[in-house]
Amino acid sequence: MKIAPIAAELRRYPDGFTPIVVHTGQHYDYEMSEIFFTELELPPPDHYLNATGVSMGAKVADIISKFDPLLLSESPDLVLVVGDASSTLACAVAAATRDIPVAHVEAGLRSGDRRMPEEINRLATDAIADLLFTPSADADENLAAESVPSHCIHRVGNVMIDTLLRFRSKAAASSVLETLNLTHGGYALVTLHRQSNVDDADRLRGLLDALDRIQQRIPIVFPVHPRTRGKLSEFGFDRLLEGMNQLTRVEPLGYADSIRLQEGARLVLVDSGGIQEETTVLGIPCLTLRENTERPVTVTEGTNKVVGCEPERIVSEAFRILDGEQREGRVPDLWDGQAASRIVEVLQRGVRRR
């Protein structure tokens, strides 16, 4: 969702740019990867690294070992990485050790929680990058506080919203509501996949208890991430979900179906960063099941509220929304579908190294 608009914009300038898309293979599940290339009209990747490794360290090491030879053969002028995945950090490190400039899209986001692998990835990647493309003012402030030179920081907006606005009409044509027998505004959508939530049996049990109470008031749709699916089975929690008559588990969704479900939901409960942003633009109430967020603008300006992981508070906040108590949000500045064009404008001016 972040690469597609940037690659498309770069291809508008064939005399100036030759984008080479590299798929590390970090997301190995089809629904988590290849389906998005098709739906987002992104051509197949030029290179596929088939990353392996169970732990974060092993995965980062494997990506670096496979990406480094590619840097030698392709000899790029710039490596552009997005987000906060292990792939982001690995490819940034590999490029920096070859003295190749690095651009980081979605730079400057901070949760303040270094127990999260994603936070370490953000901090380390931003420490390496020469061009830091930020989505919001708070990200600029975070980078300035970390002594990143001002000439490296470029606020461009949110590329996730470029994709959302481009494909919103396509998502509206999705038949997922009919397939799942849902009515617009008559269900809640849940996603859970963060390590801190699903790898801890007690915390995951508490979250499921909260969902049980909420589904007694409104049907819930739960697309189950592969990581979460494995933990539910490992902890013996499948039977808990089977007892929830109004909770429907589905396989991971493609992009159009995911946006259609968000836009039709009465509320969304997530631990995903991207969905916090999408629901803000769609105007859908969102409860973030974490103690913090690296996207505070979705709280201060948007429709998001961070409610933590205590079951009682989650249920209380969900019921407030179901009872009609919700705040009206606004779309943050520069979340207008033009972030990729602003990125390319900066790239056309060249890279000024740190």
- In the chain, % of residues over pLDDT 70: 98
Segment 11-17 mean pLDDT: 95
- Band of the pLDDT at 52, cuts 50, 70, 90? confident
Q: How far is CA 251 from CA 138, 173, 197, 209, in A?
A: 35, 20, 19, 21
Q: Is the pLDDT of residue 156 over 90?
A: yes
φ/ψ of 26, rounded to 5, equals -60, -40
- Summarised one tens digit per residue, pLDDT across range 331-341 is 999 999 999 99
Beta strands in the chain (DSSP E): 22-23, 47-48, 79-82, 102-105, 131-134, 153-155, 188-190, 220-223, 247-250, 267-270, 286-288, 304-306
Q: Which residues pair with 105 in a beta bridge?
A: 82, 133
Write out the two tokens for 188: 């809640």
Write out the two tokens for 145: 């506080």
Model pLDDT, residue 53? 77
Model pLDDT, residue 273? 86
Segment 322-327 mean pLDDT: 92
Q: What is the pTM of this model?
A: 0.94
225 is catalytic: no
CB 211 within 8 A of CB 244: yes
- Residue 119 to residue 57: CA distance in whole angstroms: 15
Segment 54-71 mean pLDDT: 93
Model pLDDT, residue 195? 87
DSSP characters over 315-329: HHHHHHHHTT-----
Residues of the chain with CATH 3.40.50.2000: 3-157+338-348, 169-322
Segment 290-295 mean pLDDT: 96
Q: Is the pLDDT of residue 99 over 60?
A: yes
Give the contacts of 43 (CB within 8 A, at least 6 positions apart). 7, 21, 37
169-322 belongs to CATH 3.40.50.300: no
- From the list 164, 334, 195, 339, the residue with the least C-alpha distance to 262 is 164
Segment 162-175 mean pLDDT: 97
Distance between first and last Cα of the chain: 28
Q: Is the pLDDT of residue 271 over 80?
A: yes
Write out the two tokens for 92: 């940034």
Model pLDDT, residue 28? 57
Model pLDDT, residue 147? 97
- Catalytic entry in 23, 104, 154, 193: 193
CB 37 within 8 A of CB 30: no
Q: Is the pLDDT of residue 264 over 80?
A: yes
Sign of CA pseudo-dihedral 206, 56, 130, 346: negative
Q: Is the pLDDT of residue 80 over 60?
A: yes
Q: How far is CA 229 from CA 99, 107, 194, 226, in A?
A: 41, 30, 12, 5
φ/ψ of 249, rounded to 5, equals -85, 135
- In the chain, % of residues over pLDDT 90: 90
CATH class of the structural domain 3-157+338-348 = alpha beta
The CA angle 257-193-256, to the nearest 5 degrees, is: 10
Place of tokens 């590999």: 94
- Residue 210 to residue 287: CA distance in whole angstroms: 13
Model pLDDT, residue 341? 98
Model pLDDT, residue 32? 60
Instruction: Give me Rg for the CA atoms of the chain.
Output: 20
Sign of CA pseudo-dihedral 187, 193, 195, 201: positive
Write out the two tokens for 100: 């190749």
The CA angle 190-249-219, to the nearest 5 degrees, is: 60
- Summarised one tens digit per residue, pLDDT across range 184-243 is 999 999 999 988 899 999 999 999 999 999 999 999 999 999 889 999 999 999 999 999
Strands 267-270 and 102-105: unpaired
